[in-house]
Amino acid sequence: ASSEERECAFTENLPVADPHSGSTNKLRGVVRENGTVRCSRGSRCYGLWEKRADGEIHLVNQGCWALQQKCNGDRCLVTATPSEIQNGNFRFCCCNRDLCNANFTEAPPTADTPALKPIRRDDDAVNCLFVCLFVFPGKQKHSLSALDVMEAANSDSVDLDNLKLLELIGRGRYGTVFRSSLNERCVAVKLFTSANRQNYANERSIYCLPLLQQHDNIARFLSADERTTADGRLESLILMEYYPHGCLSHYLSVHTVDWVACCRMTHGVTRGLAFLHTELYRGDQYKPPVAHRDVTSRNVLVRADLSCVLADFGLSMRLTGSRPCRPGDDDTMAISEVGTVRYMAPEVLGGALNLRDCESALKQVDVYALGLLYWESFRRCSHLFPGEAVPEYQLAFQAELGNHPSFEEMQILVAREKYRPRFPEAWKENSLVGLAAHFLSFCLTISNLFITPHHDFWTGCNKVNLLWL
């Protein structure tokens, strides 16, 4: 039964734009004139209704639902309590019988109700979905994120039996990343051992912040879960969209890029970081400003069209709310000295981070690292080396300190000697004017694309400019 084709009621009052991943096209199936859709094998049906201010319930969308977990009922049961979904304004259900989504049935959630519940601990992902779908209907370009968030919202416990780890694609300090398949969809899975559970919990909570998944330059989160391995160990998993080009540093190490591609890459990371830093209120949604605290070219992932997303939020920190950020706190050290040593700002290395204005200080630390990413990227830009070979890819300070610089080495070089990555000779000699023009147009491009000119961001940007100039 799970692999049958399914016929579902179909309505699209709110268009779900074409996702940019082929694998999710199967969400739609073949739409028929009689208001139904023939969904691809293994799909379920879903429905979404809105309760308006007048108390009337209006149908919003119906169609095929690619995720199978918890959608096995005959009836379309709404089990998330109304308060969990946008203050009770929406009803979502999915089910596994032909046309079962024509109507919904409200049922109080029970332990064994074969239906949906939002992501554990909060309903941010569900709320994100509704903001994606309704508050910004003009942003259909991002509707893969809406779809993904719908999936995330409903995949509290992914059916891990269907998850196959296929190939090891990355190993970081905190997690091991595998290209994987989930119900024939290609995904990336980051596995954390119990020793790194805090990092997992933090990354998960950041991904689930309201509005975060709406942004095109933040990595797509699909789900998170925990399981016990055969030998009794606790293992935590984060499921994400799979980015076939991998991380920025890998991409740049094997490819040069032209000017446009280079701008697209750096611009994407910049937008992602600006968004992360920004405090947002939209309707009843609140996104706190967040510092990434580990901006590196390994933590930026590259899409097929060479646009980039910011990833790896295991060390990220909300900059408002309950967490203190004052000198003398027990976690002052943790606040100021996390990250990858190569990308640490001089004030972090020199122990001079201004914790009295923690929010600005940590944002500026991120922006310093962003400047190093620009340097790594533009050194691989073919247009900036006319008539000569593009230099081999280098990480920032690799020429000076090699592959594994220590904290002390970085401290001496960057904080004490105030050394910064060098411009290649080609940029100094012949094309300074051209470069300046390019750089100016680049700055203008990115400045146009910020949501709001953010004071702290621009303060940080001055550091980038200084680094460049």
Catalytic amino acids?
294
Tell me the per-residue interface mask from 132 to 171 with ligand ATP, x by CB under 6 A, - otherwise.
-------------------------------------xx-
CA 355 to chain centre: 27
310 touching ligand ATP, by CB under 6 A: no
Number of residues that bind ligand ATP (CB under 6 A): 23
Q: Which two tokens stand for residue 186?
A: 């290609």
The distance of closest approach from Cβ of residue 52 to ligand ATP in the complex, given in angstroms and rounded to an integer, is: 39
Q: Which of residues 10-69 bind ligand ATP (CB under 6 A)?
A: none
Stretch that binds ligand ATP, among 4-12, 285-293, 308-316, 353-361 (CB under 6 A): 308-316
The distance of closest approach from Cβ of residue 54 to ligand ATP in the complex, given in angstroms and rounded to an integer, is: 44
The correct pick among 190, 363, 379, 420 for binding ligand ATP (CB under 6 A) is 190
- The amino acid that residue 96 corresponds to is N
The correct pick among 173, 233, 323, 356 for binding ligand ATP (CB under 6 A) is 173
Q: Partners of 256 in the beta sheet?
A: none
175 touching ligand ATP, by CB under 6 A: yes
CA 22 to chain centre: 19
190 is in an annotated binding site: yes
CA–CA separation, 22 vs 5, rounded Å? 19
Q: Which of residues 313-352 bind ligand ATP (CB under 6 A)?
A: 314
The correct pick among 123, 151, 225, 294 for binding ligand ATP (CB under 6 A) is 294
The correct pick among 48, 95, 301, 384 for binding ligand ATP (CB under 6 A) is 301
Q: For ligand ATP, which is the closer residue by CB, 130 or 207?
A: 207
Beta strand pairing call for 290-291 and 234-241: unpaired
Pair 383, 258: CB distance under 8 Å:
yes
Q: For ligand ATP, which is the closer residue by CB, 123 or 312?
A: 312
299 touching ligand ATP, by CB under 6 A: yes
Pair 188, 226: CB distance under 8 Å:
no
Pair 36, 10: CB distance under 8 Å:
yes
Q: Which two tokens stand for residue 438?
A: 């390019």
Pair 367, 463: CB distance under 8 Å:
yes
Q: Which of residues 222-261 bind ligand ATP (CB under 6 A)?
A: 240-243, 246-247, 250
Q: Which two tokens stand for residue 430?
A: 């012949």
Phi/psi region, residue 339 (left: phi>0; alpha: psi -120 to 50; beta: rest), is left
CA–CA separation, 266 vs 272, rounded Å? 10
Q: Which two tokens stand for residue 450?
A: 């910020």
CA–CA separation, 206 vs 198, rounded Å? 12
Which residues are documented as binding site for ATP?
A: 190
Q: Provide the binding-site residues for ligand ATP, judged by CB under 6 A.
A: 169-170, 172-175, 177, 188, 190, 240-243, 246-247, 250, 294, 298-299, 301, 311-312, 314
Which residues are documented as binding site?
A: 190
